[in-house]
A and B are shown apart, each in its own frame.
Chain A
């Protein structure tokens, strides 16, 4: 999942100022109000607009998180991100030869056009995501063939034993749509989507708002409780804050970190951070000298005062990272010792390298991103202390992506999140050369990492898998192809009238559980 690019400078303005208006009185403790009631319309203000509601098309969170409300998937991520729970599928089992998975589906699920959800719809849907130009086709590339023994059973044949398949099936891009888009063209379907999820698409005014309404025939009886949810597009974080304070909206997605403290003082507003799989890192191009030298990379990682950056830029909302796999996955190794901040040690490490007295290099940051700019300036001054002279370069976000793919940079910040709850996707994406983007553009290549990733995805027993992932995290820590910086949570502020809102580690809103008190 990606966060949409914006020229951040452009949107901070409005009411960095506006907050001043609504931050004075101190609030009492939050009272979670009574038993769930039905009804009510929720308005959620978000910075970015959705780009498409066709499951196999978008990659931006703004689209993904709405798609997850409109459609069902065979499985659904557990709230804590440590596994999957039944959804359209009630049970699933790997075959004895480990080369296929059989999913049994519930029989009472219906699309909002009245059509029952069948195995034929599943096959059609997965095929959409296997198309060459689908962004997440790589997730389903392991599926070689699908069988439908009956209307409510699907068998997936896999290239090799594939433990992550149930988690793959929870991916939004594998949402179940009616076969042949219920007779519509893909673009017609995208503008009036039909799913079997808790909510039904109502309308979308591009540039300002998108509304979904309760699916009264949703198979999970008693849910959803809300009558409707409107997603509005408000790029400026401070405008969102003012709107929340005035009761115009119910939920503000991602209030600015700098504003959280004053938000917490407001009586009718809750601010909460939810564990997210986001990991921020400082990427290095190991194909270039002297970053190709392990001691140089290690020295850099020891010289950066991560705590200071966390405090100055993220206002403490986050945790200094020790391992490349985030704590939201069961594969995270909490015992791993990261290269901790120690200037003397950094100097000593650099002294052992090919450039004992330092060198000159660059950090490229996306233009308009004030956080990256602050981070870069702090890193610049940290590295100066051990004799590394850093020049900051800026590139507009799209050009920076191209430069990273082309290996045309020395150092650059980045972040990664997982799209599925199984550690497989992110362990490969951030840890292997071919599993993503040359190990986060670093060019770091390790046959051992590839082997361990394969071992982990083939093995069906958790302890074998965990051992492999622990080893992978150790290898990354030893080789420092990039500096893992922080685990960053998702932050939401919302009215105290909103209850049961608890986004999952992969970002899913789970709006069917939300209700509003009067």
Chain B
């Protein structure tokens, strides 16, 4: 742990890619990298469902139906209907479109910002590092949800503010991760060789640093997507996320809570299952990627 220069520890512990150290899966699974396949299929099914939603279900996800409210699961309504009479299965499927898209897209900007930030601080070190890491510290020491909530207040609800809010916060994890790797790489021989050969820092950074360091960040981004799903869903739960009537797992779960008492568990549990399914799929993919990219041993 680097303790000398930081107000906060600059370690990457706790932000590690899912499988640093050793893989978790049995040997037979690892041999053919089955984790990557299972995760891929699980995620693929979701993407397929999202894309082909109108073919899978004949209901409209947003039109209320006063005559068919709060029905239990049946052949007609696989997951039942909600308090406004809409088909829950349809809403879960359409929810994939909004939630998964935002979660994945929201990874891109923090990834890039964190990558650049981390490489620059890690490579140059010194006062640049000190100043830039203080900025990262401020973000870390700021309560995550306050930041997100106040940003949503300022920008208004909707996908756009969710992007901005997530970006403002989650780049720090990438930056710390990449910075750590960059500091290790900096001291390796080939960098010294390049410097001696008169190659400009920018070229060294682009050619050699970025690809090496990005691998780690890529694996981490899988669990980051899971976290983003969590953030989107929690924001919706507080009424700060996706605007109704667009189906979204978080608001479905929030709206469903008040009907738990009446025994309508499905309203909460089915969207929750979709969230957990997504998380499992991405974890498998993360493990599989780590294995494939040989960073789990």
Listed in ascending order, the chain A residues whose CB lies under 8 Å from chain B are 7-10, 12-13, 15-20, 23, 238, 256, 258-259, 262, 305, 308, 311-312, 366-370, 373-374, 376-378, 380-381, 392-396, 399
Contacts and interface: CB of A to CB of B under 8 A. Distances in A.
B238 A370 contact: no
B90 to A, nearest CB: 15
Contacts, number: 97
A234 B261 CA distance: 18
A495 to B, nearest CB: 20
Contacts of B83: 312, 374
B130 interface: no
B64 A381 contact: yes
Nearest to A395: B156
Contact of B64 (A19, A377, A395): A377
22 contacts: A9-B238, A10-B238, A17-B257, A17-B260, A18-B261, A258-B258, A258-B262, A311-B66, A312-B69, A367-B239, A368-B238, A368-B240, A373-B255, A377-B62, A378-B64, A380-B245, A392-B243, A394-B243, A394-B244, A395-B156, A396-B152, A396-B153
B255 A394 contact: no
Interface in B90-142: none
A16 B257 contact: yes
Given A7-B239, A17-B260, A262-B261, A370 B153 contact: no
Interface in B225-253: 237-240, 243-245, 251
Contacts of B152: 396
Interface in B173-219: none
Contact of B260 (A20, A23, A366, A374): A20
A395 B62 CA distance: 21
B258 A395 contact: no
A308 B66 contact: yes
A366 B260 CA distance: 24
Contact of A370 (B64, B258, B261): B258
A368 B239 contact: yes
Given A12-B258, A312-B84, A374-B84, 8 more contacts: A10-B238, A12-B257, A258-B259, A367-B238, A370-B239, A374-B255, A377-B62, A394-B243
Residues of B in contact with A, size category: 20 to 34
Given A381-B63, A381-B64, A393-B156, A12 B239 contact: no
| Overall SS of chain B's interface | loop
Nearest to A237: B258
Given A312-B69, A368-B240, A394-B157, A16 B64 contact: no
Contact of B240 (A23, A256, A392, A396): A396
Contacts of B238: 7, 9-10, 367-368
B94 to A, nearest CB: 15
B167 to A, nearest CB: 21
Contacts of A258: 258-259, 261-262
Nearest to A378: B64
B263 interface: yes
B157 A367 contact: yes
Listed from nearest, the 10 A-B pairs whose CB atoms lie closest are A368-B239, A19-B261, A367-B239, A16-B258, A394-B157, A9-B254, A17-B260, A16-B257, A16-B260, A377-B245
B157 A395 contact: yes
B69 A376 contact: no
A321 B263 CA distance: 32
Given A373-B239, A373-B244, A393 B261 contact: no
Nearest to A393: B243
Contacts of A16: 257-261
Contacts of B66: 305, 308, 311-312
A374 B260 CA distance: 17
Contact of B244 (A7, A308, A366, A377): A377
Nearest to B154: A399
Contact of A392 (B156, B244, B259): B244
B261 A8 contact: no
Contacts of B254: 9, 12, 370
A337 to B, nearest CB: 24
Contacts of B239: 7-9, 366-370, 373, 394
A376 B243 CA distance: 11
A75 B83 CA distance: 45
A390 to B, nearest CB: 10
Contacts of A399: 153
Nearest to B250: A9
Contacts of B245: 377, 380, 392
A88 to B, nearest CB: 44
Count chain B CB atoms within 10 A of each CB in A23, A370, A376 and give the residue with the most: A370
A260 B165 CA distance: 39
Contacts of A378: 64, 84
Contacts of B261: 15-20, 23, 238, 258-259, 262
Nearest to B64: A381
Nearest to A365: B244
A459 B63 CA distance: 51
